[in-house]
């Protein structure tokens, strides 16, 4: 049975322009520059740089000039004043002096050189090997990861050599070539696990009593050593604490990631470009927006000339009408993009300015204990914007402060009550926890339960499980792994 009924419903839908604006706000400086370059490429009505001074501003001669060709309506009601300014400087550049005028080099040079694998292959070429052995050795070098390890089983490598190199060999031959690869520099390269990596490095050292003991410990008691069961090590190897301490120092001097020690390793490094700069001037904070976030864009003068030619034309063909519609679309897109940049600048500046004022004590002193509890809603309420907008600004933007470049979202933290009933930031508690661990007796490190008692004595009633959570966030190991001889 068919039924017809009327339902009323309220729903919120974002326009494509609003969605694009949200995406632009989220972009950090370098990605924002790429977005501008992309828009300049696809929209010929948009140009970079200051616009040339001109006085001829005009509208299409009729207030609403519509053409109907076969039912298709082409509107040409275009007010060019909306797209152009009568001044040499675009209006969006005059909103406020909230960005720096830095003309820093936008090209980030990268050093060229020999890659880690090429460095290993060059050393391998100094060995006299048969053709098959050379293929195996080169394949093994190609299997070395950025840390210097070969994290694959010998049997899998034998199979891959058969499938990819058409080379049929056995595990014994691969093991033999693996020993050759493990002779290459840096020491420890080609190891299959940490234990083998440390043993390779120890065997290359001068065989003093402490090195010999360290080798025995890693070879026979690696699990006990990694878990720092020093009492078991003393009993098992029949040594004194001084001997164990010397062996431990030898092991601590080894490199667990030999691949990272290669100075010519050409890894792509992500360069952080601060979106904001905070400076202390005469005891007051001064905020500036990176000049790259304030590009000079204007509408193409060629497009205005095309409009002028269309206005002066007496007979307008269908092609001209379609052309003017295309021009209108591009002008609309250019105008929206320039307005979106202006709105992006304003949103970024207002949000960061509010954060700076709320955390004024921290920015003036650099003391992380001065950070106030702050969540996204606090900023959103102050600037009358949605929480998602503040999140987009905070999640991917950096600020250059007198104390280093910081990710903005690091300034946000939850609050807890101390014994006096005052709200304190979790950052303050983490800093005290970090200092407490740094000052502890490493022979008897504090457990999470004892750390909770120490913080309680300092006026911070924190549960043991919360201590464990903060300790993990600070990348501090458990008490047993912090123990030293």
Same domain, 315 and 354: yes
Arithmetic mean of pLDDT, 342-349: 87
Same domain, 132 and 146: yes
Would you tell me the crossing angle of helices 209-220 and 241-252 to the nearest 10 degrees? Answer: 80
Check whether residue 357 and residue 394 sit in a common domain. Answer: yes
Alpha-carbon span 347 to 351, nearest angstrom: 6
What's the rounded mean pLDDT across residues 436-458?
Answer: 85
We report the CATH number of the domain holding residue 477 as 1.10.10.60
In a domain, 101, yes or no: no
Residues 188 and 201: beta-carbon distance below 8 Å: yes
Does residue 3 belong to any structural domain of this protein?
Answer: no
pLDDT of residue 353: 92
Same domain, 365 and 349: yes
pLDDT per position as a tens digit, 132-172 = 888 888 889 888 888 888 888 888 888 888 888 888 888 89
Of 397, 412, 427, which one is at a domain's C-terminal end?
A: 412
For 86-107, b where at least 16 C-beta lie within 10 A, e where not — what string?
Answer: eeeebebbeeeebbbeeeeeee
Domain limit, last residue, from 385, 412, 439: 412
Residue 185: predicted pLDDT: 87
> Do 407 and 425 fall into the same domain?
no
What pLDDT is stored for residue 1 in this prediction?
Answer: 60
Task: Indicate if 357 and 379 belong to the same structural domain.
Answer: yes
DSSP state of 94: G
Instruction: Please report, for residues 137, 185, 258, 262, 428, the alpha-carbon distance to residue 125 in angstroms, rounded to integers and kept in the order given.
Output: 10, 13, 20, 18, 56
Task: For 16-70, write each residue's pLDDT tens digit.
Answer: 666 777 777 878 787 888 888 888 888 887 877 665 443 333 343 333 344 344 4
pLDDT category, 88, cuts 50, 70, 90? very low
- Total count of domains within the chain: 3
CA–CA–CA angle 419, 422, 427 (5° rounding) = 95
* Domain identity same for 404 and 449: no
pLDDT digits (tens, 9 = 90+) for 294-344: 777 777 777 767 766 666 666 667 777 777 777 778 877 888 888 888 888
Statement to judge: residues 244 and 346 lie in one domain? no
At 453, list the tokens.
């008692």
The answer to whether residue 108 sits within a structural domain is no
**401 SS3 class:** strand
Q: Tokens 């109907």 belong to which residue?
A: 68
Residues 428 and 451 reside in one and the same domain: yes
**How much of the chain, in percent, has pLDDT values that exceed 90?**
7
Q: Does residue 322 lie in a domain region?
A: yes
How confident is the model at residue 356, as a pLDDT?
Answer: 92
- Check whether residue 315 and residue 392 sit in a common domain: yes
Number of H helices, E strands in the chain: 20, 10
Q: What does the pLDDT look like over 254-291, one tens digit per residue? A: 888 888 766 555 554 557 788 899 999 988 999 988 87
Task: State if pTM tops 0.75.
Answer: no
Say if residue 377's pLDDT is above 60.
Answer: yes
Q: Are residues 133 and 249 part of one domain?
A: yes
Q: Alpha carbon 438 to chain centroid distance?
A: 28
Q: Tell whether the model's pLDDT for residue 76 goes beyond 70.
A: no
At 270, list the tokens: 């992500």
Say what the pLDDT of residue 277 is.
Answer: 92
**Count of residues for the chain?**
485
- d(CA 298, CA 257) in angstroms, rounded, equals 52
Q: Using the 3D structure, point to which of 389, 412, 435 is the last residue of a domain.
A: 412
Find the largest Cα–Cα distance for the chain. Answer: 106
Mark whether 275 and 373 lie in a shared domain: yes
Domain that includes residue 366, residue range: 20-90+268-412
The pLDDT value given to residue 304 = 66
How high is the pLDDT of residue 352?
A: 92
For the chain, give the mean pLDDT: 77
- Any idea what the Cα angle at residue 311 is, between residues 307 and 314, rounded to 5°? 135
Asked if residue 223 belongs to a domain, the reply is yes
């Amino acid at each position: 049975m068919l039924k017809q009924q009327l339902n009323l419903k309220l729903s919120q839908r974002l326009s494509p322009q609003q969605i694009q604006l949200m995406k632009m706000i989220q972009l950090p400086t370098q990605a924002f520059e790429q977005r501008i370059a992309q828009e300049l490429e696809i929209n010929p009505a948009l140009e970079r740089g200051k616009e040339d001074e001109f006085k001829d501003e005009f509208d299409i001669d009729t207030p609403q000039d519509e053409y109907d060709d076969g039912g298709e309506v082409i509107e040409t009601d275009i007010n060019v004043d909306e797209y152009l300014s009568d001044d040499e400087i675009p209006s969006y550049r005059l909103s406020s002096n909230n960005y720096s005028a830095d003309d820093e080099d936008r090209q980030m040079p990268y050093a060229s050189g020999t890659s880690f694998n090429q460095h290993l292959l060059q050393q391998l070429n100094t060995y006299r090997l048969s053709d098959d052995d050379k293929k195996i050795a080169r394949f093994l070098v190609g299997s070395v990861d950025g840390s210097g390890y070969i994290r694959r089983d010998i049997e899998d490598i034998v199979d891959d050599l058969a499938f990819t190199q058409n080379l049929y060999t056995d595990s014994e031959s691969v093991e033999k070539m693996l020993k050759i690869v493990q002779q290459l520099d840096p020491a420890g390269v080609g190891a299959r696990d940490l234990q083998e990596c440390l043993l390779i490095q120890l065997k290359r050292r001068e065989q003093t009593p402490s090195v010999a003991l360290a080798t025995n410990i890693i070879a026979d008691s690696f699990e006990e050593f990694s878990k720092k069961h020093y009492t078991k090590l003393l009993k098992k190897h029949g040594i004194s604490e001084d001997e164990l301490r010397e062996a431990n120092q030898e092991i601590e001097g080894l490199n667990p990631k030999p691949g990272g020690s290669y100075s010519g390793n050409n890894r792509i490094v992500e360069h952080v470009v601060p979106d904001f700069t905070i400076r202390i001037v005469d005891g007051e904070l001064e905020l500036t927006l990176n000049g790259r976030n304030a590009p000079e864009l204007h509408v193409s003068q060629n497009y205005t000339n095309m409009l002028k030619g269309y206005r002066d034309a007496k007979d307008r063909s269908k092609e001209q009408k379609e052309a003017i519609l295309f021009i209108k679309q591009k002008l609309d897109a250019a105008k929206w993009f320039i307005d979106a940049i202006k709105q992006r600048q304003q949103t970024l500046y207002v949000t960061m300015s509010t954060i700076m004022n709320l955390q004024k004590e921290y920015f003036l002193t650099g003391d992380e204990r001065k950070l106030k509890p702050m969540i996204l809603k606090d900023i959103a309420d102050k600037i009358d914007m949605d929480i998602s907008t503040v999140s987009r600004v905070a999640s991917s933007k950096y600020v250059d402060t007198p104390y280093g470049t910081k990710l903005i979202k690091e300034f946000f933290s939850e609050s807890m009550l101390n014994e006096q009933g005052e709200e304190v930031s979790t950052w303050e508690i983490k800093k005290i926890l970090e200092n407490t661990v740094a000052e502890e007796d490493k022979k008897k490190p504090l457990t999470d339960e004892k750390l909770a008692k120490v913080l309680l004595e300092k006026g911070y009633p924190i549960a043991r499980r919360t201590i464990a959570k903060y300790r993990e966030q600070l990348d501090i190991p458990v008490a047993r792994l912090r123990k030293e001889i």
